[in-house]
Amino acid sequence: MSPRVAVVTGSNKGIGLAIVKALCQKFEGDVYLTARDSGRGEEAVKSLASEGLKPMFHQLDINDLSSITAAAAYFKDKYGGVDVLVNNAGIAFKTADTAPFATQAEVTLKTNFFATRDMLTHFMPIIKAGGRVVNVSSFVGSRTLNNCSPALQERFRSEDLSEEELVGLMERFVEEAKKGEHKQKGWPDTAYGVSKTGLTTLSMILARRLSKERPGDQILLNACCPGWVRTDMAGPKAPKSPEEGAETPVYLSLLPAGTTQPHGRFVSEKQVQPW
């Protein structure tokens, strides 16, 4: 049997690095720190090695489809698939950033929603039986959902929402942002928030599909919030350390064999949250 393997995207720093660190200590198998920039990735591997930990490294830029497919092929070939996948890579414009909202919408949705979806499209078929998939979303996505028009809220919460319809909604947000019409069309004024509403909703859709199409494989897929964490993204005033932020993603990554819940949920502080 192939050895077990865990893969964390965007893990050269911040919460992703802390997730890799915890998995090195708790996961029985190989743990891959991945980064879009190999130099930054190798540096991070060295920093963990100096603490006596032994992560492996693979380059992975989620905005680059050829990087995603090369990584998926590598894990399929070397390990027969992936046991734990944590989609952690994400971006956020700073509040003070003066880039036009249309640009912020396009760039933020590109990484946080569309590229993460590309990861899922190419990695879901190689998730092994008993696997765990964790999408690092945000409580901001839940708040954003509650600030959408009633019609949008109804679609995001609907159990019959398809992946195609969700992709269409995310594309529509970007288009309406470009025309300066997003607010009148029922969207809140936050590109990051909409990207995470989309990611949490996508997690629910894919979990329903797993239950339907691979019921015997007992794969659990969830979205989560790490909390407000001191990283380059959130700044130094956040209350949680990266290690504390890693706790819920790591908990979901290591749900023991035979566990049936949570699955297809949004989880924060290790608790299922309303959606």
Kindly indicate which of the ranges 13-21, 50-58, 162-170, 265-273 contains the residues binding ligand NAP, using the contact rule CB under 6 A.
13-21
Q: Verify binding: residue 120, ligand NAP, rule CB under 6 A.
A: no
Q: Verify binding: residue 233, ligand NAP, rule CB under 6 A.
A: yes
Which amino acid would we find at residue 173? F
How many Cβ atoms from other residues are within 10 Å of residue 259's Cβ? 13
How many Cβ atoms from other residues are within 10 Å of residue 164's Cβ? 9
State the Cα angle at 249 between 128 and 257, rounded to 5°.
40
Q: What is the DSSP letter of 240?
A: B
Kindly indicate which of the ranges 34-42, 77-85, 93-101, 159-167 contains the residues binding ligand NAP, using the contact rule CB under 6 A.
34-42
Kindly indicate which of the ranges 8-16, 142-150, 156-164, 263-271 contains the residues binding ligand NAP, using the contact rule CB under 6 A.
8-16
Q: Verify binding: residue 6, ligand NAP, rule CB under 6 A.
A: no
Chain residues 129-168 in contact with ligand NAP, contact rule CB under 6 A: 136, 138
Q: Verify binding: residue 252, ligand NAP, rule CB under 6 A.
A: no
Is the four-CA dihedral 11, 99, 103, 198 of positive or negative sign? positive
- CB closer to ligand NAP, 119 vs 161: 119
Candidates 226, 224, 218, 188; CA nearest to 203 is: 224
Q: Compute the distance between CA of residue 61 and CA of residue 66 in angstroms, rounded to an integer.
A: 9
- As measured in angstroms, the least distance from the Cβ of 189 to ligand NAP is 18
- As measured in angstroms, the least distance from the Cβ of 17 to ligand NAP is 7
Mapped onto helix, strand or coil, the DSSP state of residue 16 is: helix
Candidates 274, 162, 170; CA nearest to 212 is: 162
User: For the chain, what's the residue count?
Assistant: 275
- CB closer to ligand NAP, 62 vs 85: 62
Whether 251 sits among the annotated catalytic residues: the reply is no
Candidates 82, 144, 135; CA nearest to 248 is: 135
Q: Verify binding: residue 203, ligand NAP, rule CB under 6 A.
A: no
Q: Which residues bind ligand NAP (CB under 6 A)?
A: 9-10, 12-16, 35-37, 40, 60-63, 88-92, 111, 115, 136, 138, 225-226, 228-229, 231-234, 238
Residues identified as active-site: 192
